[in-house]
Amino acid sequence: MTAYQCEPEPGVGIVRRQQMTWAAPLHLEGGGSFAPVTLAYETYGRLNATASNAILLLHALSGDAHAAGYHSSTDRKPGWWDVMVGPGRAFDTERYFVICSNVLGGCQGSTGPSSRDPATSAPIRPYGARFPVITIGDMVRAQARLLDALGIEQLLAVAGGSMGGFQALEWATAMPERVCGVILLATSARSATQTIAWNSIARQAIMRDPRWRGGDYYGHEPPINGMAVARMIGHITYLNEASLEDRFGRRLQTGDSPAFVLGPEFTVESYLDHQGDIFNARFDANSYLYITKAMDYWDLPGRYGSLDAAMARTHADFLLLSFDSDWLYPTAESAAIAASLRRVGRYVEHVDLHSDAGHDAFLLDHVAQEPIITNFLARQ
């Protein structure tokens, strides 16, 4: 890949969708086990001879394994963290072997509620609501299988924002010997009551949609109305009030005066409607239920007795980035993790970045993040 003068540095280019399947049952935190387990994943860069340059990227609620590059030359949008992954980028693919997999319970190639349920005789019947309820710990233990298969004993770093940060913290506390560095963005050591409340309302919107059919909507029209409402709720929690004012204000979709109709009139309404509709095209409603449930169970202090007890389990160095306009995972949550890590003697950098983008800043404000992450990785 040659970079031409005055052109932006090219990213990872065309990338391959990969999958790996294990026949051995995965034992779940909630009890029981199931098999087979498939993970969809992508890799960028090359694993070095000592397998010591691997970085695992961990996606948020609506993300997937496609973190960087394009699947084909006709793709219009690159992977979700493309600005951060590539030659010369923060996750520099000239130096690091970068891996990203779709979470267990997901709908982008990994085993989830839309996967075929092997317990049914019908050949194409998906799990639906018979899929077991899973946790962040279950997601991470599935990822560990992938790393084993790739021959990676220890990760140079794990990195993730929001629910990706939950997984990074799970790696650092459940398998501390496998993680050298942890990069956390806009995340928390536990789901707050309000987060549970928003997730619960989103699930209610889906499960109260008659098209949900108890989870067995595959082959029928899916619960697109409930999903749209769920996504709209989520979307507002990702944005900041001030940025909503700046971006939409009280502007009307058409003209200067209201039309005095019940349907959407303000541009913020049309925007939300659109967000709800496009989400339906790319996400499975049951996956939304299972993944938000896994988020709600997330509670490191609860599991280990205290945040300090949880952080004392870690062996890694930590970088935390928070964003001052994020009200879903506010700065105070990152500050609490950083303070705990310092109390138990870990190396920790916490940078609170100014942003107007709210929680979404972790995906959008890459310019400020890039040098901080580059420097943190260079010292690993």
Per the annotation, the verdict on 71 as an active-site residue is no
Which member of 101, 110, 114, 162 is catalytic?
162
260 interacts with a copy of itself by CB under 8 A: yes
Q: Which of residues 315-344 bind a copy of itself (CB under 8 A)?
A: none
Interhelix angle 285-297/224-238, rounded to 10 degrees, is 40
Q: Which of 59, 293, 303, 346 binds a copy of itself (CB under 8 A)?
A: 293
205 interacts with a copy of itself by CB under 8 A: yes
Which member of 59, 66, 350, 359 is catalytic?
359
Instruction: Please state, as a whole number, how many other Cβ atoms lie within 10 Å of the Cβ of residue 85.
Output: 28
Reduced to 3 states (helix: H, G, I; strand: E, B; else coil), residue 374 is helix
191 interacts with a copy of itself by CB under 8 A: yes
Q: Which of 208, 274, 282, 379 binds a copy of itself (CB under 8 A)?
A: 208
Transcribe 318-365 into DSSP letters: EEEEEETT-SSS-HHHHHHHHHHHHHTT--EEEEEE--SSGGGHHHH-
191 alpha carbon, distance to own chain's centre: 14
Considering the complex, state which of residue 42 and residue 138 has its C-beta at the smaller distance from a copy of itself.
138
Q: Which of 207, 312, 335, 344 binds a copy of itself (CB under 8 A)?
A: 207
106 interacts with a copy of itself by CB under 8 A: no
| 158, containing H or E segment | strand 157-161
Query: 333 near 188, Cβ under 8 Å?
Result: yes
| 88, containing H or E segment | none
Q: Which of 93, 102, 187, 225 binds a copy of itself (CB under 8 A)?
A: 225
Considering the complex, state which of residue 117 and residue 273 has its C-beta at the smaller distance from a copy of itself.
273
Q: Which of 236, 309, 344, 351 binds a copy of itself (CB under 8 A)?
A: 236
Q: Which stretch binds a copy of itself (CB under 8 A): 59-67, 70-78, 180-188, 241-249?
A: 241-249
Nearest 5°: phi and psi at 25? -65, 140
Alpha-carbon Rg for the chain, nearest whole angstrom, is: 21
Which of 100, 97, 101 is closest to 46 using CA atoms?
Answer: 97
1 interacts with a copy of itself by CB under 8 A: no
250 interacts with a copy of itself by CB under 8 A: yes
CA distance 320 to 57: 15
Instruction: Please state, as a whole number, how many other Cβ atoms lie within 10 Å of the Cβ of residue 13.
Output: 15
Q: Which stretch binds a copy of itself (CB under 8 A): 48-56, 73-81, 104-112, 227-235?
A: 227-235
Which member of 326, 334, 340, 360 is catalytic?
326
> Shortest gap between Cβ of 194 and a copy of itself (angstroms)?
5
Per the annotation, the verdict on 162 as an active-site residue is yes
203 interacts with a copy of itself by CB under 8 A: yes
Q: Which of 6, 122, 124, 261 binds a copy of itself (CB under 8 A)?
A: 261
CA distance 139 to 167: 8
Interhelix angle 224-238/267-282, rounded to 10 degrees, is 120
The per-residue b/e assignment along 203-225, b for 16 or more CB within 10 angstroms, e otherwise, is bebbbebeebeebebbeeebbbb
Query: 166 near 136, Cβ under 8 Å?
Result: yes
> Shortest gap between Cβ of 210 and a copy of itself (angstroms)?
6
Number of residues that bind a copy of itself (CB under 8 A): 56
Binding site for a copy of itself (CB under 8 A): 30-31, 129, 132-133, 190-194, 196-198, 200-201, 203-205, 207-210, 215, 225-226, 228-229, 232-233, 236, 241, 244-245, 247-250, 258, 260-264, 266, 268-269, 272-273, 276, 289-290, 293, 296-297, 299, 302
Q: Which residues are marked as active site?
A: 162, 326, 359
